[in-house]
Structure 1
Amino acid sequence: MKRVLKALGQTLSQSILLVCTLALIGLLGLGIVPSQAAYAGQDRSQAQPSAKITDPAESFEDLNPQAAYEDIVKTAQNPAKVEQVYDESLKEYKGEHPQEGIVQKAEELIEKVTGND
């Protein structure tokens, strides 16, 4: 019985010592890590170019939302025209974004193979 109690006490003291050691290591780790300042050591003479800010009022007047709405309504009433407008919009998008991904290349190859050019 004495051996069991002695072994139990020794195990308990070792586990407490282990927990205290781990807690001490954790606290020391928090104290060692320095806080990093943003842009520390950066040369301010090399400032990043700023984005161009446009006046929202000017761009809104150029849009003419009423005319755009009427165009959309007219297009939606004619199902044949919807596909044509979609194709035009797609061509315009591809013109603005010339990078082709693997999916677009695969679609083009499928269209060439099936003859749906």
Structure 2
Amino acid sequence: MRPLLPPEAGQGGNKQKAADRLLAHLRRWHRAKTEAKHFVEYNGKAVTSVKTAFKSAVRLAGLGPGISPHTLRHTAATWLMQRGADPCQAAGYLGMSLEVLLNTYGRHHSDFRCLGENRQS
């Protein structure tokens, strides 16, 4: 199968694995002949701007100003590490390399706290 993203796209992560999973979902969706007409939609209409849609979702959720997709990714990474999630699975979920996850968020993981304390000195 052809990947949706070239191997050099982005940083870290297994793009081929993600592309295969996405392609499988798209094929299943197509066979099911769902009512959806667009890849991303809201109330039956195409979402033409993810940026505008995200701003609307933040407003509707009452999250306040300054919230971005990066904020949510940062929060998810911190919470995953605090709860002792497997770093390899967390890195894959977050779309970042294991090295970046551990260097940036490892200090929040109970198994790596001693490493984080030594690095901060």
- Smaller-chain TM-score range? under 0.3
Would you tell me which structure has more helix in proportion to its own residues?
A: 1
TM-score, reference length from structure 1 = 0.27
TM-score, reference length from structure 2 = 0.26
Query: Which structure carries more relative contact order (alpha carbon 8 Å, separation 6+)?
Result: 2
